[in-house]
């Protein structure tokens, strides 16, 4: 079981003029800045929270080795919310009221973020880099929210565009988690289909934190789809694909980034060949991308046994985003951090983030990857006509 507390490391950045505070905000000490993360660390979606945590820790450790931010080390306190909204409320309140964190970073999930974000907003606590593309978090009226990643609407638009243009798909179905997360993906898919005068061929659902997918397979099989868009976590999505292949349902399977790419491939084994996953970060094993090279080095320095992956790369980028903004402040404050992020442009070693009025999301990038026979991922520009 994970310890409730985890010390982090961070990145030294040159300070410039910023906001001064009359009294330090919670989580700011003479020698440290304390962040908090409420996420899932146990159960069928645990790899998502663990991956985000690992990436944030790698970014903070990288910074701490260089002296931190103006001499302050970065710390992280983590609490397990089990990927359940009610537990997320409890964990978030504990981080704010008991652990007295400066900001929340890397929360995981749409239903959990929907429950936790208002609690953070009540006390002006920054809510940074949630691991979800839910559209409601892109509302610029949410003063305490800063997103790193592209939205689910952007991912599903890319999915439908590539399925129709590259593969000529006519009948597209959807498998989704029956909650706010899944319905966000459903809405994005319906929007992308309507843009092309199309409707869903079929749909099937499953309950969060379960792998009960057989009824969904049967419902979707009746729709005779060319492709199935999948909006869920890695274990139920893997189970759906395995059961579908058993009943000879073999459309193109396209998963949304939240799925957890590496654990999905591991769960599928040799049945994963040709499965597509959209991504919102670069390929984590390509050191030719400068930020990926930095990430790989930071990850290895933090944990020599850790393997590069899409989730921990996103966590690393979220950590780097927070550090880049802190580096612009003469004195770290919550409001100063939010102002620096929301008015800023940042180049994270070749991964650009652009914010501005009415835009609290830094990146619009969506990438395509396909699982290969050995379980690895291959980045592609277009979907291959032959699976894999």
Q: How far is C-alpha 201 from the chain's CA centre?
A: 28
CA distances from 10 to 112, 299, 336, 363 (A): 26, 12, 19, 22
Contact between residue 76 and residue 37 where contact means Cβ atoms under 8 Å apart: yes
Cα–Cα distance measured from residue 103 to residue 329, given in angstroms and rounded to the nearest whole number? 15
What is the tens place of the pLDDT at every residue in 258-311? 999 999 999 999 999 999 999 999 999 999 999 999 999 999 999 999 999 999
Sign of the C-alpha dihedral, residues 328, 332, 336, 338?
Answer: positive
Token reading at 157:
């638009």
Domain 152-279+367-380 fold is Rossmann fold (3.40.50)
Taking 50 as the pLDDT cut, the residues of the chain under it are: 1-22, 387-388
Q: What pLDDT score was predicted for residue 132?
A: 98
Q: What pLDDT score was predicted for residue 23?
A: 62
CATH 3.40.50.2300 domain span(s) along the chain: 5-149+284-354, 152-279+367-380
Q: What pLDDT score was predicted for residue 7?
A: 38
In our burial notation (b when 16+ CB lie closer than 10 A, e otherwise), range 271-310 reads: ebbbbbbbbbbbbbbeeebebbebbbebbeebeeebebbb
Specify the pTM.
Answer: 0.92
| CATH class belonging to 5-149+284-354 | alpha beta
- The 8-class DSSP code of residue 381 comes to S
Q: What pLDDT score was predicted for residue 385?
A: 73
Q: What pLDDT score was predicted for residue 2?
A: 42
Helix (H) or strand (E) segment spanning residue 228 = strand 227-231
Helix (H) or strand (E) segment spanning residue 261 = helix 261-268
What is the tens place of the pLDDT at every residue in 102-112? 999 999 999 99
* Exposed/middle/buried for residue 163 (C-beta within 10 Å: 0-12, 13-18, 19+): buried
């Amino acid at each position: 079981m994970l310890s409730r507390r985890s010390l982090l490391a961070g990145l030294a950045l040159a300070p410039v003029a910023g906001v001064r505070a009359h009294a330090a905000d919670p989580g700011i000490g003479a020698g440290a800045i304390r962040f908090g993360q409420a996420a899932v660390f146990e159960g069928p979606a645990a790899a998502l929270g663990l991956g985000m945590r690992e990436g944030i820790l790698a970014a903070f450790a990288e910074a701490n080795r260089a002296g931190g931010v103006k001499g302050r080390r970065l710390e992280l306190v983590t609490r397990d919310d089990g990927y359940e909204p009610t537990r997320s409320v409890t964990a978030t309140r504990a981080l704010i009221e008991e652990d007295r964190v400066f900001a929340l970073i890397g929360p995981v999930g749409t239903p959990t973020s929907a429950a936790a974000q208002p609690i953070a907003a009540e006390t002006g606590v920054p809510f940074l880099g949630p691991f979800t593309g839910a559209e409601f978090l892109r509302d610029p009226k949410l003063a305490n929210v800063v997103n790193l990643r592209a939205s689910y609407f952007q991912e599903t638009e890319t999915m439908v565009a590539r399925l129709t243009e590259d593969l000529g798909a006519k009948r597209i179905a959807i498998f989704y988690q029956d909650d706010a997360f899944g319905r966000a993906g459903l809405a994005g898919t319906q929007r992308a289909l309507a843009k092309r005068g199309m409707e869903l061929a079929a749909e099937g659902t499953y309950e969060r934190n379960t792998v009960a997918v057989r009824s969904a397979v049967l419902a979707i099989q009746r729709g005779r789809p060319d492709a199935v868009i999948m909006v869920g976590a890695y274990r139920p999505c893997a189970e759906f694909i395995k059961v579908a292949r058993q009943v000879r349902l073999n459309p193109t399977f396209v998963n949304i980034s939240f799925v957890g790419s590496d654990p999905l491939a591991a769960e599928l084994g040799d049945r994963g060949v040709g499965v597509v996953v959209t991504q919102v970060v670069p390929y984590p094993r390509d050191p030719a991308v400068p930020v990926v090279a930095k990430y790989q080095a930071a990850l290895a320095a933090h944990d020599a046994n850790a393997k590069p992956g899409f989730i921990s790369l996103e966590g690393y980028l979220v950590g780097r985003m927070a550090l880049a903004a802190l580096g612009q402040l003469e004195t770290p404050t919550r409001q100063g951090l939010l102002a620096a992020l929301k008015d800023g442009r940042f180049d994270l070693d070749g991964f650009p983030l652009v914010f501005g009025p009415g835009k609290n999301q830094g990146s619009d990038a969506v990438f395509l990857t396909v699982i290969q026979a050995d379980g690895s991922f291959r980045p592609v520009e277009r979907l291959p006509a032959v699976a894999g």
